[in-house]
């Protein structure tokens, strides 16, 4: 397979030729009063104890109602007591840093190829006039195991592969419990969402590196988008902020909560919940001095499954808002390329 000719952000910096225009954002009316590098308020989202969510105790019910209000208001929660140790999460962060610190030639062994989303590379260039994001990535399908493409899985640092495998298996439990908790918080049968998610659901993990950027006032790490997943598990950098969520037309920053996993609803839970849980628009701003890393895992329903509002959430008082969709992620990229919100395509 042919390798694409691209420069990662790290290579752009190493070339020392200044900041290419392709990264510069043109201010839009939406940012008025909130410049890219301005200070923004912190979002008020709760830390949820995952181990309590499935208990039928009084405390468990309280935790479910916290989950319900955070997901209705923001579509985002910080999840604690998720069963993955701090030590293990630190190892993931460390291996991510080590991978991006490798020499260019070594990283290019895992370079993305034309027509593939997996592998190492820059922001995917889908059109000539696209403003590029200030981000380098390693993107890997991790589950089911037979969909792994190991040629993109780094052999150095040498614990990378086995640690990613272990992380995937640990995340599966978190994902299953979170699906059950969301269904319960909406008064549905525990497995309602899991049944739609299906046996053939996939997990994709994206290791993100945002190098220091000379123009945080003009350049974004990731432009505003909502995720096409059912939901996304994120390990945001432990020291460097940058992730922001949009609510009622204003940007708020995500707090840094050590050892928590940030979970945001994606478009497919918005559909399954008939719009009660919203898939939030978010972006990442850049930092002049510090690099930032994050690790995102997208939980994507199987292509054999129809995704639609759960029966129990449709009534005369709350009519069905979304069509039945299938292979939503394909539709997602078509819309994304046109700069539109893909969820619009699913609205009735």
Site residues (vs Ni ion, CB under 5 A) = 227
- C-alpha distances in Å from residue 277, one per residue of 15, 72, 193, 272, 333: 44, 5, 13, 9, 22
Q: Count the Cβ atoms, other than its own, within 10 Å of residue 105.
A: 7
Measured between alpha carbons, how far is 50 from 63 in angstroms, rounded to an integer? Answer: 9
Measured between alpha carbons, how far is 57 from 184 in angstroms, rounded to an integer? Answer: 13
Judged by beta carbon distances under 5 to 8 A according to partner kind, the member of ligand OGA, Ni ion, none in contact with residue 259 is none
Rg (CA), the chain: 20
> Measured at CB, which residue is nearest to ligand OGA?
294
User: Residue 141 pairs with which residues in a beta bridge?
Assistant: 204
Judged by beta carbon distances under 5 to 8 A according to partner kind, the member of Ni ion, ligand OGA, none in contact with residue 341 is none
Residues 278 to 337 in contact with ligand OGA, rule: CB under 6 A: 282, 284, 294, 296
Judged by beta carbon distances under 5 to 8 A according to partner kind, the member of ligand OGA, Ni ion, none in contact with residue 142 is none
Shortest distance, CB of residue 151 to Ni ion, whole angstroms?
26
Name which of 66 and 282 has its Cβ closer to ligand OGA: 282
Shortest distance, CB of residue 234 to ligand OGA, whole angstroms?
6
Q: Which residue from 223, 261, 226 is spatially nearest to 242, judged by alpha carbons?
A: 223
Judged by beta carbon distances under 5 to 8 A according to partner kind, the member of ligand OGA, Ni ion, none in contact with residue 243 is ligand OGA
> Measured at CB, which residue is nearest to Ni ion?
227
- Considering the rule CB under 6 A, would residue 206 count as an interface residue with ligand OGA? yes
Q: Which helix or strand (DSSP H or E) is residue 167 part of?
A: helix 160-185
- Considering the rule CB under 6 A, would residue 204 count as an interface residue with ligand OGA? no
Shortest distance, CB of residue 222 to ligand OGA, whole angstroms?
5
Shortest distance, CB of residue 245 to Ni ion, whole angstroms?
10
* 307 DSSP 8-state letter: B
Q: Which residues does 76 contact at the CB level (< 8 Å), separation at least 6?
A: 43, 45, 70, 245, 254, 262, 263, 264, 265, 280
Name which of 174 and 310 has its Cβ closer to ligand OGA: 174
Here the tokens at position 228 are 């096409």
Shortest distance, CB of residue 61 to ligand OGA, whole angstroms?
31
- 225 and 343 in contact (C-beta within 8 Å)? no
Judged by beta carbon distances under 5 to 8 A according to partner kind, the member of ligand OGA, Ni ion, none in contact with residue 215 is none
- Considering the rule CB under 6 A, would residue 227 count as an interface residue with ligand OGA? yes
147: Cα within 13 Å, side-chain hemisphere: 14
- 260 and 50 in contact (C-beta within 8 Å)? no
- 300 and 229 in contact (C-beta within 8 Å)? yes
Name which of 108 and 206 has its Cβ closer to ligand OGA: 206
Shortest distance, CB of residue 162 to Ni ion, whole angstroms?
27
Name which of 188 and 262 has its Cβ closer to Ni ion: 262
- Considering the rule CB under 6 A, would residue 168 count as an interface residue with ligand OGA? no
- C-alpha distances in Å from residue 263, one per residue of 46, 91, 117, 306, 342: 11, 20, 23, 23, 20
- Considering the rule CB under 6 A, would residue 243 count as an interface residue with ligand OGA? yes
Shortest distance, CB of residue 157 to Ni ion, whole angstroms?
25
Shortest distance, CB of residue 131 to ligand OGA, whole angstroms?
16
Chain centroid offset of residue 204 CA: 10
- 302 and 201 in contact (C-beta within 8 Å)? yes
Name which of 245 and 308 has its Cβ closer to Ni ion: 245
The helix-helix angle for 86-100 and 160-185 (nearest 10°) equals 130
Name which of 50 and 138 has its Cβ closer to ligand OGA: 138
Site residues (vs ligand OGA, CB under 6 A): 206, 208, 222, 227, 234, 236, 243, 282, 284, 294, 296
């Amino acid at each position: 397979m042919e390798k694409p000719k691209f420069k990662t952000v790290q290579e752009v910096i190493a070339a020392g030729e200044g900041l290419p225009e392709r990264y510069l954002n043109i201010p839009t009316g939406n940012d008025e009063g909130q410049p890219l590098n301005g200070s923004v308020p912190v979002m008020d989202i709760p830390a949820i104890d995952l181990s309590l969510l499935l208990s039928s105790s009084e405390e468990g019910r309280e935790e479910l109602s916290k989950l319900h209000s955070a997901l209705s208001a923001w579509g985002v929660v910080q999840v604690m007591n998720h069963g993955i140790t701090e030590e293990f999460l630190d190892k993931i962060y460390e291996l991510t840093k080590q991978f991006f610190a490798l020499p260019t030639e070594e990283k290019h062994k895992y370079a993305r190829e034309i027509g593939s989303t997996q592998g190492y590379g820059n922001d995917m260039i889908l059109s000539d006039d696209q403003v590029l994001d200030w981000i380098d990535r390693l993107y890997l399908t991790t589950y089911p195991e037979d969909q792994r493409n190991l040629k993109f899985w780094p052999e150095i640092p040498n614990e990378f592969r086995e640690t990613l495998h272990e992380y995937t298996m640990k995340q599966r439990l978190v994902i299953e419990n979170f699906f059950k908790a969301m269904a319960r918080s909406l008064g549905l049968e525990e497995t309602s969402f899991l049944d739609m998610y299906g046996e053939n659901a996939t997990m994709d993990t994206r290791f993100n590196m945002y190098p220091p950027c000379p123009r945080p006032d003009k350049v974004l790490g990731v432009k505003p988008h909502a995720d096409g997943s059912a939901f996304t598990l994120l390990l945001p950098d432990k020291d460097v902020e940058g992730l922001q969520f949009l609510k009622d037309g204003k940007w708020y920053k995500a707090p840094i909560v050590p050892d928590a996993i940030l979970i945001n609803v994606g478009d497919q839970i918005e559909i399954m919940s008939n719009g009660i849980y919203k898939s939030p628009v978010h972006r990442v701003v850049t930092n002049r001095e510090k690099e930032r890393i994050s690790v995102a895992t997208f939980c994507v329903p199987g292509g054999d499954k129809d995704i639609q509002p759960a029966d129990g959430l449709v009534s005369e008082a709350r009519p069905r808002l979304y069509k039945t969709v299938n292979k939503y992620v394909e539709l997602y990229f078509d819309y994304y390329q046109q700069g539109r919100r893909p969820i619009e395509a699913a609205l009735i």
